[in-house]
Structure 1
């Protein structure tokens, strides 16, 4: 899987791939990443990439020409590239999107906007998908791009040392993941549930399901409601 990040601020992103799991995945050849700076494509002698907004308004907007030329060059070199823009208007990114992209795409391009946004004509010309990671304001698109890349990368075969761990994680099922514990048995007078320590895996799994249900009900009542509705619908079939 190859990731290309189109950004004016490469140093903000590059370090994320230089430690831990992703660093090992890159070294093993499971992942590759590179960067494209639209400033390298500007035709302005001052290497300008932003301009005032047409129609007025506060702030600057990323100009069409440098970004458009950058994406044209990318697409010419890699016709299979799947281009993703980050924007508040985009579809909320979720685990289903991460799984789909990991399974069906070999080259993802994440375009990170800055200032007051990107000239909409570039989005119309090049976007294969537009995503949002939440209803809040960020300084630029670099963090959303990294969030989505991380979610996709860990689903690429070989990236995680124990692929089976994916099956029990939150959002891989309708419920949140059950609470996790490690040694010591007691910490600040708080103990690990005794069933976890007895070695009966069927009972441990049953307890984890109950705890996952309770955790989802408490922290994400929206997911809990969807789960109980689906469960009732399935029972009604029989």
Structure 2
């Protein structure tokens, strides 16, 4: 997979892709992340890529022409399945979107907003998907772009050491992940649950599912409700349990 990120402050993205899993993915040629400086496509000698918004109000807007030109140049080299704009008013990013993008896309452009955003005509004519990472505002889309890229790349085959690891993450099955433990089995008098030391894989899986359900119900009632809606058998089991 190749991800091209367009930013007017590209140095903000130097660190996220130079360490850990993302760096290993790049070293193994499983993914490529290229960060492009929008200022290299300024349309005048002063390097301007933004201007005042029409109407009234404070804040600058990224101009359409520089964005159009850089995306047009990238599209001359390869086909892109998505041109994603990071914006607070986009659809809220979740694991299902990450799964879809990792499976269905080979090349992605991520456009980082800045200031008051980008000219609406770019959003109307070129952007194929608009994504937010939460109901808050950042100084720019760079950190959000790094979050999206990380969530996608770690799902690619061969990126994680254990291929099943991503499948047991929180949100993959609509639930939060269960608690996890490692050595020592007894740490300052606090012991690992006996079931995890039993060696009975089916019982351990059952325990983990129960823990995931309890944790989701307690911490994320919104997710729990969605889970119940898509798993009506869980509701019926709980009702039978109460009758007994």
Q: Is the pair's TM-score, using the shorter chain for normalization, greater than 0.5?
A: yes
Residues 23-59 of structure 1, C-alpha deviations (whole Å, 9 max, x = no match): 1111111011112212111121110111111102111
| Contact 2:181/2:192, CA 8 A, preserved across alignment | yes
What is the Cα deviation at residue 81 of structure 1?
4.9
Q: Residue 3 of structure 1 aligns with which residue? A: 3
| Contact 2:79/2:107, CA 8 A, preserved across alignment | no
Residues 191-210 of structure 1, C-alpha deviations (whole Å, 9 max, x = no match): 22121122222221111111
Q: Residue 206 of structure 1 aligns with which residue? A: 206
Structure 2 SS opposite 1:90: strand
Structure 1 SS opposite 2:61: strand
| Contact 1:2/1:32, CA 8 A, preserved across alignment | yes
What is the Cα deviation at residue 222 of structure 1?
1.1
CA distance in 2, matches of 1:20, 1:120: 36
Q: Does residue 131 in structure 1 map to residue 131 in structure 2?
A: yes
Q: Does residue 180 in structure 1 map to residue 180 in structure 2?
A: yes
Q: Residue 88 of structure 1 aligns with which residue? A: 88
Q: Residue 156 of structure 1 aligns with which residue? A: 156
Q: Residue 23 of structure 1 aligns with which residue? A: 23
CA distance in 1, matches of 2:138, 2:12: 14
Q: Does residue 119 in structure 1 map to residue 151 in structure 2?
A: no
What is the Cα deviation at residue 72 of structure 1?
1.4
CA distance in 1, matches of 2:226, 2:141: 31
CA distance in 1, matches of 2:86, 2:205: 39
CA distance in 1, matches of 2:89, 2:227: 27
CA distance in 2, matches of 1:2, 1:207: 39
**Residues paired across the two proteins, number:** 236
CA distance in 2, matches of 1:87, 1:5: 14
What is the Cα deviation at residue 159 of structure 1?
1.0
Q: Residue 190 of structure 1 aligns with which residue? A: 190
Structure 2 SS opposite 1:17: coil
| Structure 2: unaligned runs, 5 residues or longer | 237-244
CA distance in 2, matches of 1:230, 1:28: 38
Q: Residue 145 of structure 1 aligns with which residue? A: 145
The two structures have a TM-score, normalised by structure 2, of 0.91
What is the Cα deviation at residue 233 of structure 1?
6.1
| Contact 2:176/2:212, CA 8 A, preserved across alignment | yes
CA distance in 2, matches of 1:229, 1:189: 40
CA distance in 1, matches of 2:166, 2:81: 26
Q: Residue 103 of structure 2 aligns with which residue? A: 103
Distance 1:3 1:178, change over 3 A: same
Structure 1 SS opposite 2:164: helix
Distance 1:148 1:196, change over 3 A: same
Root-mean-square deviation (CA, aligned residues, Å) is 1.7
Mapping 1:49-60, distance limit 5 Å: 49-60=49-60
CA distance in 1, matches of 2:99, 2:81: 17
